[in-house]
Amino acid sequence: MSKHSSVALVTGAGQGIGRGISLELAKNGFDIIGMDIIHDAENKKVGLFEVKEKVEELNVSFLPIQGDVSSLEDHEKVINQSLEGFGKIDVLVNNAGVAPKKRLDILETTPESYDRLLSINARGPFFLTQKIANQMIKQLKENPESKPCIIFISSISASVSSPSRAEYCVSKAALSQTARVFADRLSEYGINVYEVRPGIIQTEMTAPVREKYDKLIKEGRVPQKRWGFPEDVGKAVAALARGDLGYSTGLILEVSGGMNISRL
């Protein structure tokens, strides 16, 4: 595998937003390390190996790695396999995340659901970033001209209340602050850190509430009056990974069709 192209590690790369990010980065010449909890080499219709085929059609490499972002033991394995494959990690995209298995009013939220979401959506990315940031610092000592960066995929739920999935909102708010603190700490090394906040994106995660969101969009909750798609998020990530906004570490980039606009 190439050790010259820029290399991006995307967590949760097998479907949804992670798939969209992987494809857009590949279009921009990045070799991709795709991490996902499901690693089924026999399944070429959906999952990591479907993404691998699509990425490799773009004449870049794709390394599929099985890993659970909530498992700190898996972090070491993923980093070791990434370095064996490419010798470096230039970009980390913290995308993997989950929604509650069942939406419950905040007055009924269970400790089990809260712990699950915080473990996967906040704690896992925090410690994976810690490890990869230290690897990037080592790489900079060897190649001071490199421009590594880290991108967190949070959600408008980091700042918008949804009482029927409070634990999701809390986990994304925690992830947002994680991005901010890493941006601050890593600025001295020239490692830029960004947060991308998707709005209502058409993925497997939003499929169970498709009708609800169709209605909200029709009623004008989204000024641009359409669903977002994984490629919308992927294009934003690609711009950041390319360095197009190089003087903007700590930036929160919302990809929500204008839901960030305060309106009467």
pLDDT tens for each residue of the chain, 264 residues long: 445 699 999 999 999 999 999 999 999 999 999 999 999 999 999 999 999 999 999 999 999 999 999 999 999 999 999 999 999 999 999 999 999 999 999 999 999 999 999 999 999 999 999 999 999 999 999 999 999 999 999 999 999 999 999 999 999 999 999 999 999 999 999 999 999 999 999 998 898 889 999 999 999 999 999 999 999 999 999 999 999 999 999 999 999 999 999 988
For residue 253, give the DSSP letter. Answer: E
Pairwise CA distance, residues 48 & 216, whole Å: 32
Of the options 3.40.50.720, 3.60.130.10, 3.40.50.970, 2.60.40.790, the CATH number for the domain spanning 7-255: 3.40.50.720
Q: How far is Cα of residue 114 from the mean position of the Cα atoms in its chain?
A: 20
Q: 203-225 burial by CB neighbour count: b if 16+ within 10 A, else e? A: beebeeeeeebeeebeeebbeee
- Cβ atoms of 127 and 72 within 8 Å: the answer is yes
168 catalytic per annotation: yes
pTM, rounded to two decimals: 0.97
Residue 51 CA to residue 110 CA, distance in Å, equals 35
Q: Which listed residue (168, 189, 194, 213) is catalytic?
A: 168
Task: Tell me the one-letter amino acid at 6.
Answer: S
**Local structure of residue 202 (DSSP, 8 states):** -
The SS3 assignment for 195 reads strand
Q: Which secondary-structure segment (H or E) carries 53?
A: helix 48-56
What pLDDT shows up at residue 264?
83
Per-residue exposure over 246-256, b if at least 16 CB sit within 10 Å of its own CB, e if not: eeebebbbbbb
- Express each pLDDT in 65-95 by its tens digit: 999 999 999 999 999 999 999 999 999 999 9
Provide the token pair at 102: 């069942």
Q: What integer pLDDT is reported at residue 4 of this predicted model?
A: 63
Burial track 120-148 (b if 16+ CB lie within 10 A, e otherwise): bbbbbbbebbebbbebbeebbeeeeeebb
Q: What's the gap between Cα 53 and its chain centre?
A: 20
pLDDT of residue 3: 52
Distance of CA 255 to the CA centre of its chain: 13
Domain layout of the chain by residue ranges: 7-255
